[in-house]
A and B are shown apart, each in its own frame.
Chain A
Amino acid sequence: MFKYFELNKIFLITSKAPRYVLFLFIIVLSIGLLEALIFSPEDYKQGDAVRIMYVHVPSAWISLGIFSLITLLSIIGYIFKIKNFFLISKSLAPSGFIFNIIALVTGSIWGRPTWGTWWAWDARITAMLILALFYLLYLLAWRVFEDKDKVFKATLIITILGIINVPIIKYSVDWWNTLHQPASINIFTKSSIDISMLFPLMIMTAAFALFSLLIFLMKYNTELIKIKNKGLDRL
């Protein structure tokens, strides 16, 4: 099974993929922007301010998804000693962090017209801020530690501690009284959001997922070339 993790074979695919992903991303993003800014209806309560949802919600979803994936890969990588999983995690982190920042900033912009404030120490907002700090710690750990074993251990600890925060973000709206409304989209039950708003939301989520894939591939290729650079030194 592990022969599929050979860097030479992986690079043959990942080096060619970014140009196609970039092309697809531009197309999907263009459709998403048209839907989100022009064709989707305004909300009966929030008016046009609801359009901020189309960048805020996908960003929050993807930042949570990436952190969960990083944690899973770090745990599996540590248990089965698959260094490549740590490399994949490292390459995923920058886009996860940026999406977390976008979720915080766009949430703050959305909060002003809807709640009348730029910031509140609401459970979900605070938990998202804490997640951003864990992302920052994770990225810093890769810069601070030179020794591979130390960095693997440090990033594993950071992700395990950080993952505790993920269910808190998800269920904070149910556990506490927060400014955020309860979830409008449910996988197992009927969603309360109308299809005219759900469609652009899904398109924008697909576009953002493609962007994180693009950044991941570019970053991963950079990391592989770094390894090869060290290899040339040893020749």
Chain B
Amino acid sequence: MINDILIMNGYGLYVWSAFAFTLVSFASLYFITKTQYIKERNKFIVKFGTLNSERVSLAKSQGMNKEILSNTSSI
């Protein structure tokens, strides 16, 4: 049965390569996007760490800044 699924009456190479290309494209786009996200978030955390206490309290008054800092587990 596994041979039938792999060979697909001679069309296996075409079918599997089409699905493989799709899944590899998905994985590549996902990891590129994730890397960009982590890079920007880390940049934000570093910048936030350099702020003085007055600026930290000002920045923390914005909900989104708190969310970026708390959302470390991300995607």
Binding site for B on A (CB under 8 A): 7-9, 11-12, 15-16, 18-19, 22, 33, 36-38, 42, 47-49, 51-52, 55-56, 59, 94-95, 98, 101-102, 105-106, 109-110, 112-113, 211, 214-215, 218-219, 221-222, 224-226, 228-229, 232-233, 235
Residues of chain B lying within 8 A (CB to CB) of residue A49: 11, 14-15
- Shortest beta-carbon distance from A16 to chain B in Å: 8
Q: Which residues of chain B from 7 to 27 have any CB-CB distance to chain A below 8 Å in the complex?
A: 8-12, 14-15, 17-19, 21-22, 25-26
Contact between chains at B11 and A15 (CB < 8 Å): no
Q: How many residue pairs, one in A and one in B, have C-beta atoms under 8 Å apart?
A: 120
CB within 8 Å for A218 and B48 given contacts A49-B11, A51-B15, A52-B18: no
Binding site for A on B (CB under 8 A): 5, 8-12, 14-15, 17-19, 21-22, 25-26, 29-30, 33-34, 36-37, 40-41, 43-44, 47-48, 51, 55, 58-59, 62-65, 67-68, 71, 74-75
A-B contacts, 29 of them at CB < 8 A, read A8-B63, A11-B64, A11-B67, A12-B64, A12-B67, A15-B68, A16-B71, A37-B19, A38-B5, A47-B10, A48-B9, A49-B14, A51-B11, A55-B18, A59-B22, A94-B29, A95-B29, A98-B26, A102-B21, A106-B21, A106-B22, A109-B14, A113-B11, A215-B30, A222-B37, A229-B40, A229-B43, A232-B44, A235-B51
State A112–B25 Cα separation when bound (angstroms). 21
Contact between chains at B8 and A51 (CB < 8 Å): yes
- Tell which of A218, A224, A226 touches B64, judged by Cβ atoms closer than 8 Å: A224
CB within 8 Å for A48 and B29 given contacts A7-B64, A110-B18: no
Residues of chain A lying within 8 A (CB to CB) of residue B44: 225, 228-229, 232
Residues of chain A lying within 8 A (CB to CB) of residue B8: 42, 47-48, 51
The 5 closest A-B pairs by CB, nearest first: A48-B8, A48-B11, A8-B64, A106-B18, A18-B75
The residue of chain A having its C-beta at the shortest distance from the C-beta of B41 within the complex is A225
Residues of chain B lying within 8 A (CB to CB) of residue A36: 19
Contact between chains at A98 and B25 (CB < 8 Å): yes
Contact between chains at A211 and B26 (CB < 8 Å): yes
- Tell which of A38, A109, A218, A229 touches B18, judged by Cβ atoms closer than 8 Å: A109
Contact between chains at A221 and B37 (CB < 8 Å): yes
Residues of chain B lying within 8 A (CB to CB) of residue A102: 21-22, 25
- Shortest beta-carbon distance from B74 to chain A in Å: 8
